Structure formats: structure tokens, C-alpha cells
């Protein structure tokens, strides 16, 4: 798996995907977004990968937003297309990926960068991370899902204030309000992300995929129906037989 703007390293069923434009603080230009879209298509059928960790190259930034220089001269229709295509081809695809996606936020996660981290299934951050949606300072609003995902994660009032003021959250504050799950020293960030990913790889990947789909529906009117359907579906799967047999036989399950 090689991409012009991403570094992809796979080990022990865990893919570390690094946004690789450090000279522009990993700003999300068309090239990075195209590569992310391709990666999340490719990963579906790649049995060597069960968990994905997203991070940014360098020690300063996860991603400093959509590439401002690329869209500065856009008109309304082009702006609309930028948001619509980005959401469909990257951000929604990540959120709906049935393999777990962890964002390891290693510095600035601003605008589209925070929106990328929020489309991951959960986030951990390094102590130097700064997270925010500063689009109103550019005369814009968040366009890659930020007005929808931020209130779900931190509540409507906090999201309103964050978007209106364009203030950045420190890593410590982001943890307090549930925007990130954990904060660790930058030197330990990837190791901790891999440790969490390693735990996940020991569990049933088919059950985890169904859990992602069900949890993603928690705020939809049919969320309970989706949970019930997924629960029932899993009873026909080999992992269910292996998991329950292993419990009865007092051994660890060996999921395929
Ligand atoms: N787009 C394009 N280039 C960017 C960028 C961005 N979002 N963020 C940083 N860069 C570039 C800078 O232009 C600079 O390049 P040059 O050396 O060629 O001038 C390089 O990265 C380093 O950046 P700075 O010199 O600005 O670094 P700094 O340490 O002084 O500041 C920063 C860091 C506070 C993150 C600052 O770069 C910044 O404010 N960046 C923009 C953040 C932002 O507004 N993001 C929202 C983008 S809009 C969006 O995302 C819309 C959407 O929702 C879809």
C-alpha cells in the first residue's frame, strides 16, 4: 500500500497511517484527501489490517486544516463541492469504516484536521496537542462535518462557543470534555495507540465491525433496531461459536 501523501506501516495487523506534508503542517490538500479516500477503500479487503491509527508527520501538527491556499479562490459551488465530496469520500467513509480507526493527535488539529480526528472512532492526544475549529476567522464555517460531530462529542453549548470564538482546546481540556480519551507524552503517543490497537486485535473483528455500526447509530431513531439486527446477525458467525466455546472450555478465544 503506497500513497504519495501518506506513509503506511503495517505490523501485527495494525496500520499506522501518517499524513505526510509536514512542511504545510499536514494541511489537507486534494492529494492527501484522495490518498485517504483510496486507503479507506483499499483497507476493506486487506486482511492484514484490523485496526488503523491516523497521525501526522512531524512533532508539531496532526493536520492544520483544509489547505487554505487551494480553496482561497473558490466560488460558492466549488466550496459546496469541496465540503460535499470531502465528507462523502473521506470523513464519512472513515466514520463508517468497520475496522476501528484511532486518531493519534500529535499537535495541531485545526479545522479539517480536527474534523478528521473527529471522524475517527476515538482520539488520544499528546500533551502538546491543540484542537479547534477556527474557520470563522477565515469567513467560513467548518465544512468537513465539524458543526455536526463537535456538538455530539462535547455538547452543543461548548461547540457553539468553540466555533464562534475559534479558541483552541489544550490537550488537557480536550480530555476533560471528552474530545479526546487520553493524553500522553508525545514520545509515547504512538506506543500507547498501538497498545490500545493491540488489545482490539485480540477481540472478534466481525463483532467490532457490528459494534461500530451500532454505536454510530446511537443518535438515530432506529439505533435500537440496528443494535438488535447486528446482535442477531452475529449468532451465525464463527467468532460467536469460538468465543462461547472458549469461555466454556476455560481458554482464550482464537478469532480468525
Ligand atoms: N492550509 C495551507 N497551508 C497551511 C495551513 C493550512 N490550513 N496551515 C499551515 N499552513 C502552512 C503555512 O502557510 C506555512 O507555509 P509556508 O511556510 O509556505 O508559509 C506552514 O504551513 C507553516 O505554518 P505557519 O508558519 O503558519 O506555522 P505557525 O507555527 O506560525 O502557526 C498554525 C501554526 C497556528 C497552525 C497556523 O499555521 C494556522 O493558523 N494555520 C491555519 C489553521 C486554520 O485556519 N485551519 C482551518 C482551515 S479551513 C478548513 O479546515 C475548512 C474546513 O473545515 C473544510
| CA 84 to centroid of ligand 1, rounded, Å | 22
pTM above 0.90, yes or no: yes
Q: How confident is the model at residue 123 (pLDDT cuts 50, 70, 90)?
A: very high
| Whether the predicted pLDDT of 117 surpasses 90 | yes
Complete DSSP assignment for 211-226: HHHHHHTTTSTTHHHH
Q: Encode pLDDT of 11-68 as tens digits.
A: 999 999 999 999 999 999 999 999 999 999 999 999 999 999 999 999 999 999 999 9
- What cell numbers appear for 119 in the block? 471522524
Q: Which of 128, 160, 165 is nearest to 147 (CA)?
A: 160
Q: Encode pLDDT of 150-168 as tens digits.
A: 999 999 999 999 999 999 9
- For the domain 6-201, what is the CATH code? 3.90.226.10
What pLDDT is stored for residue 1 in this prediction? 84
What pLDDT is stored for residue 57 in this prediction? 98
150 lines ligand 1 (CB under 6 A): no
Please state the domain extents for the chain: 6-201, 205-248
| Whether the predicted pLDDT of 256 surpasses 90 | no
Look at ligand 1, atom 47, and give the residue with the nearest C-alpha. Answer: 65
64 lines ligand 1 (CB under 6 A): yes
DSSP code of 167?
Answer: P
What pLDDT is stored for residue 68 in this prediction? 98
| CA 140 to centroid of ligand 1, rounded, Å | 15
Q: Encode pLDDT of 212-226 as tens digits.
A: 999 999 999 999 999
Mutate which of 5, 23, 25, 105 for ligand 1? The one with the most ligand atoms within 8 Å of its CB, which is 25
Q: Among the options 88, 115, 236, 242, which is catalytic?
A: 115
Amino acid at each position: 500500500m503506497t500513497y504519495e501523501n501518506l506513509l503506511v506501516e503495517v505490523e501485527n495487523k495494525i496500520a499506522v497511517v501518517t499524513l505526510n506534508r509536514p512542511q504545510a503542517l499536514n494541511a489537507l490538500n486534494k492529494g492527501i484527501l484522495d490518498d485517504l479516500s483510496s486507503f479507506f477503500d483499499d483497507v476493506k479487503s486487506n486482511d492484514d489490517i484490523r485496526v488503523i491509527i491516523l497521525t501526522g508527520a512531524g512533532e508539531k501538527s496532526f493536520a492544520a486544516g483544509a489547505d487554505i491556499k487551494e480553496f482561497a479562490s473558490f466560488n460558492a459551488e466549488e466550496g459546496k463541492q469541496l465540503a460535499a465530496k470531502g465528507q462523502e469520500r473521506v470523513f464519512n467513509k472513515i466514520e463508517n469504516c468497520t475496522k476501528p480507526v484511532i486518531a493519534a493527535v500529535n499537535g495541531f488539529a485545526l479545522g479539517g484536521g480536527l474534523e478528521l480526528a473527529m471522524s475517527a472512532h476515538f482520539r488520544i492526544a499528546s500533551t502538546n496537542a491543540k484542537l479547534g475549529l477556527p474557520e470563522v476567522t477565515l469567513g467560513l464555517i467548518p465544512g468537513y462535518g465539524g458543526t455536526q460531530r463537535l456538538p455530539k462529542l462535547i455538547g452543543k453549548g461548548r461547540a457553539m462557543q468553540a466555533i464562534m470564538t475559534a479558541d483552541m482546546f489544550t490537550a488537557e481540556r480536550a480530555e476533560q470534555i471528552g474530545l479526546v480519551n487520553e493524553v500522553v507524552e508525545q514520545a509515547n503517543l504512538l506506543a500507547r495507540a498501538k497498545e490500545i490497537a493491540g488489545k482490539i486485535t485480540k477481540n472478534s473483528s466481525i463483532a467490532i465491525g457490528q459494534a461500530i455500526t451500532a454505536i454510530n447509530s446511537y443518535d438515530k431513531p432506529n439505533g435500537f433496531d440496528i443494535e438488535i439486527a447486528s446482535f442477531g446477525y452475529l449468532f451465525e458467525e464463527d467468532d460467536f461459536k469460538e468465543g462461547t466455546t472458549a469461555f466454556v472450555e476455560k481458554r482464550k478465544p482464537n478469532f480468525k
